[in-house]
Chains A and B, each alone.
Chain A
């Protein structure tokens, strides 16, 4: 009985989790008039309460066509977001993967202290170091450029934390065997460590992508010009004539994240294997 109730609750929660995606999809297929009829009340221009439909009454691609053909700003912001996330991802492959490996495989006292520093940095909210980061970036002449968003994020400690868990769980025997065969430390890292933990690395990259695609705090502070901003801080205007476009915009800002997510969801599930071991620090 209890188990059945738990299952029902889980299914209801699953529906709540996915419903916003469908709301946005349905909304972007509705015409402005239909949307105004349904949710015009939240603009304060109509009496009563907003309502919603499972299917658009008069489905139309007008909003989407308008967004894609008549809104050049959209492409600029979209391009900025792509540049950001791709550059950060490449940077992290270069810096975070080796760092996670170094921290996870060599467990001396110094390694433990460094790992604790990494976790502490991860816990610090952006706002705590905002001011000094601004001063550093200003000194490098990077404020109001995409680099002010990219560089600090390349050294974000979150992916190191995720990949650490995966590197740490590699069986020691494999590495010992490779050492006996005469493989160098770097060789072991590249041809054994990385391939064996590829799902953990993928999971960290995917989580990173979702995070940077949704970057808000940094661009608000470090970017002044709208055309350098990423997509994530653009707020679609809610007005009578542009309701449909708001939904279409939301749909298209969501698509890259959903696609990445759908492609990497298995890595997300398998990449984070937590064994029964104790916390190693």
Chain B
């Protein structure tokens, strides 16, 4: 391929891309190859490994739990962080928004000391519950464990999502609302025609980041209860790690491929959704390059 003027950007990307090739892409291709081979990677076995994975009970359990976790926590964090951002954007004290991102800075092992103290069977929360005449809850086992995990995920990740929403909300100038009101646009119309289109990019970024972060709850579970947690919070990440330590390479490779293909499809759907343009474009409220832009240029 001749390096055309337009392809000069490759100079910036190639060094980083080489690393990604070595540590992600080639390993992934290698996993794909192994998923069709036997344990010592010497004989082609077709779809045997995939069959073994799909009938595997721990795999079914882990898939169920992981999908449940994502299906509940991602929409939840999406909506709650938007509501939080909207509320905070109307508050005068801007210091409060930093309180919401503090959990990002608390390392998981430090967090677990507090979590144990609060959520163990004989912990502080159950102490409070019984003091008010309620039944104590087993947070580490049963269904409650899943909800504690979802709560932990929200606690940790909501703040940053809120910042992204805030930034997107802040890019909508106030005077556009007024202009639309003068034109006789109702609340709903303002929201669907002006606010929503301006939030699309933030929505895309937040969905991607929420998905990425959802896999990292493994950390908290691992540090809290180890490699074999309660079956309600036994996730794909646990299963993969346990297959790895048992050197169950066939199943690990096949299940990894299934996961990779699933995520690839998810990304495709996300990109497709984010590309759909709003159908009605009769009245577009665009940002006029007014004096605000000049001020910025002056500062720079």
Distance between Cα atoms of A185 and B112 in the complex (Å): 48
CA distance A191 to B278 in the complex (A): 38
Report chain B residues within 8 Å CB of A160.
16
Asked if residues A217 and B219 are in contact (CB atoms below 8 Å), the reply is yes
Contact between chains at B100 and A14 (CB < 8 Å): yes
B145 part of interface (Cβ distance < 8 Å): no
A96 and B16 in contact, given A130-B240, A131-B244, A233-B109 (Cβ under 8 angstroms): yes
* B residues near A246, Cβ cutoff 8 Å: 113
Contact B107 A155 (CB under 8 A): no
**The residue from A106, A123, A273 contacting B211, defined by CB atoms under 8 A apart:** A123
Where chain B touches its partner, the secondary structure class is helix
Residues of A within 8 A of B215 (CB): 125-127
Give the size range of B's interface with the partner: 35 or more
Smallest CB-CB separation from A155: which chain B residue?
A: B19
> Would you call B260 and A124 a contact (CB within 8 A)?
yes
Nearest CB of B to A52, in Å: 5
Name the one of B25, B104, B244 contacting A121, with C-beta atoms under 8 angstroms: B25
The interface residues of chain A lying within 8 Å CB-to-CB of B150 are none
Residues on A with beta carbons closer than 8 Å to the beta carbon of B105: 210, 254, 257-258, 260-261
Q: Does B200 lie within 8 Å of A221, measured CB to CB?
A: no
Residue of B nearest to A112 (CB): B271
Q: Are the CB atoms of A274 and B202 closer together than 8 Å?
A: yes
Taking CB atoms, residues of chain A closer than 8 Å to B97 are 269
Query: Which residues of B have CB within 8 Å of A29?
Result: none
B171–A276 touching, CB < 8 Å = yes
Known contacts A122-B212, A160-B16, A272 near B222 by CB under 8 Å: no
Q: Which of A3, A151, A214, A221 contacts B219 (CB 8 A)?
A: A214
Q: For B273, give the chain A residue with the smallest CB separation.
A: A279
Inter-chain contact B100/A253, CB cutoff 8 Å: no
Residue with the highest number of chain A CB atoms closer than 10 Å, among B30, B31, B105, B244: B105
Q: Is the CB of A49 within 8 A of B126?
A: yes
Q: At the interface, yes or no: B76 with Cβ under 8 Å from chain A?
A: no
Q: Contacting chain A: which of B43-51, B53-61, B178-186, B248-256?
A: B248-256
In the complex, A252 Cα to B120 Cα: how many Å? Answer: 24
Chain A residues with CB below 8 A from B103, complex form: 17, 20
Q: Which residues of A contact B163 (CB under 8 A)?
A: 268-269, 272
Say yes or no: A120-B244 contact (C-beta < 8 A), given A10-B96, A155-B16. no
Q: Does residue B175 face the partner (Cβ distance < 8 Å to A)? A: no
Measured between beta carbons, the chain B residues less than 8 angstroms from A123 are 208, 211-212, 263, 266-267
B12 interfacial by beta-carbon distance below 8 Å? yes
Chain A residues proximal to chain B, CB less than 8 Å: 3, 6-7, 9-11, 13-18, 20-21, 23-24, 27, 39, 41-42, 44, 48-52, 94-96, 98-99, 101-103, 105-106, 108, 110-111, 114, 116-136, 151-152, 154-155, 157-158, 160-161, 165, 185, 189, 196, 207, 210, 213-214, 216-217, 220-221, 231-236, 238, 246-247, 249-251, 253-254, 257-258, 260-261, 265, 268-269, 272-279, 281
A-B pairs with beta carbons under 8 Å apart, 5 shown: A6-B87, A213-B107, A235-B112, A238-B116, A276-B197
Q: Which 3 pairs from chain A and chain B are nearest by CB?
A: A49-B127, A102-B12, A132-B27
